Amino acid sequence: AQSVTQLGSHVSVSEGALVLLRCNYSSSVPPYLFWYVQYPNQGLQLLLKYTSAATLVKGINGFEAEFKKSETSFHLTKPSAHMSDAAEYFCAVSRGGATNKLIFGTGTLLAVQP
Amino acid sequence: DTEVTQTPKHLVMGMTNKKSLKCEQHMGHRAMYWYKQKAKKPPELMFVYSYEKLSINESVPSRFSPECPNSSLLNLHLHALQPEDSALYLCASRSGATGSGNTIYFGEGSWLTVV
């Protein structure tokens, strides 16, 4: 079975500081991994996805993530946090098959302090 | 344009009411989903439609009834709900028929309150 674990339900950084949100996956086959962001009272927006084409994936809003098979990790980073980055971030892994079920992690709430 | 449109954005209904949530996409996607999200929790899958046929029902109570009238529309019919069903209901769609790499795109959600 596939699953993802997000370490840290709450992360707080200062504006301009590095953002690091952790995600580890478990999968018996090469996974497809995603990061979604959810701003308050909104739906989910795709930040980036890993589909085995490249281990370093660049997404929207300056975010990127690196797939590390040896560490079974897909951590999300951004060099410099903005106030507008405050949101809930979900890591997700996709199962195989036509139905393409997304399995979500428990989420990390990012707070950005001025 | 990766847009999934959901209506209404907010719905308040009594436990004896019958209402529906609607979802529409015009991206030519052939898989559509309903997710339920409680506050401070990740989305939980409810139903998956593939080529307008129900392919997954995650043991959802029968008071939730999905319908896929055509490839662009997905409805969720609600009847005799309980207060604990109050949540954000997210619709999503995916491009392509097979393969795990296809991205699932989400709508803005419908906030449901059962009183």
Q: Is the pLDDT of residue B61 over 90?
A: yes
Using an 8 Å Cβ cutoff, are A91 and A6 in contact?
A: yes
Stretch B54-61: mean pLDDT, rounded?
Answer: 93
CB contacts of B98 in chain A (<8 Å) are 97-98
CB contacts of A28 in chain B (<8 Å) are none
Q: Quick one: pLDDT band at residue B37, thresholds 50, 70, 90?
A: very high
Angle, CA of B3, A93 and A61, to the nearest 5°: 50
Stretch B23-48: mean pLDDT, rounded?
Answer: 93
Which carries the bigger pLDDT value, residue B11 or residue A95?
Answer: B11
Contact at CB, A107 and B41, closer than 8 angstroms: yes
d(CA B51, CA B68): 9
CB contacts of A96 in chain B (<8 Å) are 100
- For the ranges A46-50, B27-31, B83-87, the one whose mean pLDDT is highest: B83-87
Collect contacts of B39-47 with beta carbons under 8 A, ≥24 apart: B39/B87, B40/A107, B41/A106, B41/A107, B42/A90, B42/A104, B42/A105, B42/A106, B42/A107, B43/A44, B43/A90, B43/A102, B43/A104, B43/B90, B45/A101, B45/A102, B46/B76, B47/B76
Q: Is the pLDDT of residue B30 over 80?
A: yes
CB contacts of A106 in chain B (<8 Å) are 41-42
d(CA A88, CA A21): 11
Work out the minimum CA distance from A58 to partner chain B, whole angstroms: 15
Q: Quick one: pLDDT band at residue A94, thresholds 50, 70, 90?
A: confident
Contact at CB, A49 and B100, closer than 8 angstroms: no
Instruction: Provide the number of CB pairs (under 8 Å) joining chain A to chain B.
Output: 67
Which residue, among A23, A52, A102, would best test binding to B if mutated, counting the most B CBs under 10 Å from its CB? A102
Query: Which of A31, A45, A100 lies closest to B94 in CB terms?
Result: A100
Please provide the average confidence, as pLDDT, over all residues in chain B: 91
CB contacts of B45 in chain A (<8 Å) are 101-102
Which carries the bigger pLDDT value, residue A1 or residue B28?
Answer: B28
Which residue, among B53, B100, B104, would best test binding to A if mutated, counting the most A CBs under 10 Å from its CB? B100
Stretch A38-64: mean pLDDT, rounded?
Answer: 91
d(CA B48, CA B57): 7
SS3 content of chain A, % helix, strand, coil (to 5): 10, 55, 35
Q: What is the pLDDT of residue B102?
A: 75
Contact at CB, B43 and A104, closer than 8 angstroms: yes
